[in-house]
Amino acid sequence: MALLDFVRDIGNKLFSNEDEAPAKITQHIENNNPGLTNLSVEVKDGVATLSGTADSAAAKEKAILMTGNTAGIESIVDNIDAPAATEQ
């Protein structure tokens, strides 16, 4: 599990209140990052918790960045299972 910090007031405006944030962020990730399964997003007080399984380290990283680049998200708790990144 990792905690990553972002700037809360900058990024894509996907939701207008925190109650709709999980569904909107999930939809945004699933539409643009097909490498995830069983994605679950929870948001409380600007902290998004991501859970699920990624096909690759790149898919996991993309989901984290997509969430962090959303206005209203300040921190991310990463609970996504993914293969280890490989050096190229």
pLDDT in tens, the chain (88 residues): 666 777 677 788 899 899 999 999 999 999 998 899 999 999 999 999 999 999 999 999 999 999 999 999 999 999 999 998 776 6
**Both tokens assigned to 55:** 């096909």
d(CA 2, CA 60): 12
Residue from 39, 50, 34, 42 nearest 1 by CA: 50
Q: What is this structure's pTM?
A: 0.87
